Structure 1
Amino acid sequence: MDLSDLLDHLLNFVAPAAFMALVLVFAGRYLGGRRAGGPRWWAQLVLVFAAGVAVLAAGLAVFGRDGMMATYAALVVVCGTVQWLAMRGWRR
């Protein structure tokens, strides 16, 4: 596998986490507004993306292959929870 193939595989591996992070952060900003004391949008994006990549890596380690529906379900739950925590959702 050459460098371009490796880069292609890595980008395709993290693409679901990147998509979830973008959707959650910008939907949260639109629907929830900016909370006082909460992190900026780019910090939320980094937090949600990092949590998503960690879930995808854990799913790869547990199941031995990428693309399991259980991994994607865990991705949605974990990314949503991280975004809720970042926006201080318990204060509503």
Structure 2
Amino acid sequence: MSPLDAFWHVANLFAPAWGLAALLAGAIKLAWRREAKALRWLRLWGWGAAGGAAAVVVSLVLLGRDGKMAGYALLVLGVALPQWWLLSVRR
């Protein structure tokens, strides 16, 4: 495997976490305008992406492979919990 292939392999492993974090950060900025006004979109995305990436690694270690429904459930929790925490700390 070439270095470029390895890069794309790892990027595609984390792409669902990063994409879900971006969608949720955008939805938070639209749905909770007043509560999320002080939070930058990049901060919401960064924390969600980090939590989602950690969830992908944990699910890979615990379940042995990628693509199981339990892994995707952990991914949703890993993305949503840091963003929920950022909103609840602001209140």
Same fold (TM over 0.5): yes
> Structure 1 37/27 Cα, relative in aligned 2: closer, same or farther at 3 Å?
closer
Q: Which moved more, 1:18-27 or 1:59-68?
A: 59-68
List 4+ stretches of structure 1 deviating above 6 A: none
Note the residue ranges of structure 2 that are not aligned, 5 or more in a row: none
Aligned CA RMSD, in angstroms, stands at 2.1
Note the residue ranges of structure 1 that are not aligned, 5 or more in a row: none
% identity of equivalent residues = 34
Instruction: State the 1:10 CA deviation.
Output: 0.7
2:12 counterpart of 1:21: no
Instruction: State the 1:39 CA deviation.
Output: 3.2
Instruction: State the 1:90 CA deviation.
Output: 8.9
Q: TM-score, normalised by structure 1?
A: 0.86
Count of aligned pairs: 91
> Structure 1 66/50 Cα, relative in aligned 2: closer, same or farther at 3 Å?
same
Instruction: State the 1:78 CA deviation.
Output: 2.6
Helix, strand or coil: the match of 1:87? helix
Match of 2:78 in 1: 78
Match of 1:48 in 2: 48
Q: Separation in 2 of the partners of 1:6 and 1:19?
A: 20
